[in-house]
Structure 1
Amino acid sequence: MPTQKFRAGVVIAIRRENGDLMCFQRSDVVDSWQLPQGGIDVGELPVDAAWRE
């Protein structure tokens, strides 16, 4: 049975009062956008990972 590697992550959604959503255009995928996100390091709290991202 193959082993699976799991890494917890965080995603951050930031909206302005006018409804605009902060997102970033990806450089590795054409016409693709994403919310700020990243992995949670071992021993790191999710809130700390969110601030780091």
Structure 2
Amino acid sequence: MNLFTPTSGAIMGGLALAKIEYSTWLKFGAKLFVVLGVVCMVILTAAMLILPGAA
């Protein structure tokens, strides 16, 4: 979540240096966050189906 909070100095500084608006970053970051979330859910679901006794 630190990549989306405007209080993160590194993100805001990097966006300012690259001259990218925060709203543009949020649009890009939201897509990335959704894709990563779906990939994680698929991997975790597959792992639970393959190794049901591991949990």
Same fold (TM > 0.5): no
The structure with the largest helix share of the pair is 2
Q: Greater strand percent: which structure?
A: 1
The higher relative CO (CA closer than 8 Å, separation ≥ 6) is in 1
In the superposition, the TM-score normalised over structure 1's length comes to: 0.25
* TM-score scaled by length of structure 2: 0.25
